[in-house]
Amino acid sequence: MTTRPKSLQIKHVKTFVIEGVGSGGDYHNVKGGHWLIDSPISTPMSGWEKYRSSRTSWGINVLGSFCVEIEASNGTKGFATGFGGPPACWLVKQHFERFLIGADPRNTNSLFELMYRASMFYGRKGLPVAVISVIDLALWDLKGKLYGEPVYRLLGGNTRERLDFYCTGPEPAAAKQMGFTGAKVPLPHGPDEGQAGLRKNVRFLRLHRESVGPTFPLRVDCYMSLNVAYAIELVAACAPLCIDWWEECLSPDDPDGFAQLKRAHPAAKFTTGEHEYSRYGFRRLIEGRNVDILQPDVMWAGGMTELQRIAAMAAAYDIPVVPHASGPYSYHFVVSQPNAPFQEYLANSPDGKSVLPVFGDLFVNEPIPTRGYLDVEQLDKPGFGLELNPNARLISGDRLLLPAPQRGLEPPPPTGQDAMESGEY
């Protein structure tokens, strides 16, 4: 039985970046030739031909992975990874650490609010919330270790005995052969390639439909790259292919566009949320009822603390939540939620045809699906149950902060009457 101390404080907060590629929470920081970065994928940058061949050409991997370690006063440590690289380390050290040191690490709701509200003047979305997310995940890992329970039990316990997966990768036929319940492919061509590109998209998807048969769920990731008119035309052209869902067709800044898509194709399923942040960002998507499935990324959207709030709102509207990737962090969440039916596995092998750990070699025991599923008992370790690889190529964030950024300016020297009153004259 685990004895929990009545009084606990956060003693140390450490940050790290990871040397090299293929390790940690930045999915796209991989070697050249990997399908995730060097295969034809329509993106918001596809309007410029020179940025179409590789997603690294426009900087999708520019930040890289980073990690947070939080140590409590009794020596227990929580650890998590995400993306953000050196800028993330800077934000933790120069801003968010002040809310953590001396605080009780079990107070995850309060700590999230402090960090989120203190960064509203420059945050609310993007990197600041992603950094808060990783801090929050490290706190949940620490909390699970303090209680001697896996995180999913702290979230309410399991709602099933096994977790089913679909696979995102370049070869749906390979996903089907590996036992996954469905497959998702990235759309290769965007609106700026005109009707010729649209015909290529239809041909591409038809070939994949033929490769998996008529009933296997086939999904399409559009990665924020389409506009309303093009998406309506593409969905219509692909109607005979029985696409299971169309993901992230539009910019995250165009939530109203989903109403137009739904009016045009009421029977089609549209999903989004991978690049949305916080419960406030998801509220509009949920209340509009124009999205069939929400896909928050727990390493970006606000961590486990905020993901629970997003899921609770979605449940009130009977909208399923199927998180984007995030490996074991998402697994613990999904098995605890009645309205999270299954989980995405983002193929991490270079050709997308085998199952490898989502976080590369950062951990020695990351659970991965076998034949398309994972027994929940594999998650039965304190916290997230991940053991850091002793050979992990971690570089301390402190080394990246020298010389330290200048703090607030010193007050100006007293002048006039103030100086006389202070005795400096």
Instruction: Phi first, then psi: give them for residue 265, nearest 5 degrees.
Output: -135, 75
Active-site residues, by number, are 324
- Reading the block at residue 242, the tokens are 């029985």
Closest to 131 in 3D by CA, of 142, 118, 143: 118
CA angle 311, 248, 252 (to 5 degrees): 75
| Type and span of the H or E element at 82 | strand 77-83
How many beta carbons lie within 10 A of that of residue 153, not counting itself?
18
CB 84 within 8 A of CB 63: yes
Q: Give Cα 355 distance to the centre of its chain.
A: 19
Residue matched to tokens 């490290």: 138
Give the 3-state secondary structure of residue 250: coil
Closest to 235 in 3D by CA, of 250, 214, 213, 251: 250
How many beta carbons lie within 10 A of that of residue 84, not counting itself?
29
Radius of gyration of the chain (CA): 23
Residue matched to tokens 């426009």: 58
Instruction: Phi first, then psi: give them for residue 15, nearest 5 degrees.
Output: -125, 155
| Type and span of the H or E element at 78 | strand 77-83
String of DSSP letters for 98-145? HHHBTS-TT-HHHHHHHHHHHTTTT-SSSHHHHHHHHHHHHHHHHHHH
Give the 3-state secondary structure of residue 66: strand
String of DSSP letters for 181-206? S-EEEE----GGGHHHHHHHHHHHHH
Closest to 278 in 3D by CA, of 316, 252, 239, 256: 252
- Measured between its terminal Cα atoms, the distance across the chain in Å is 68
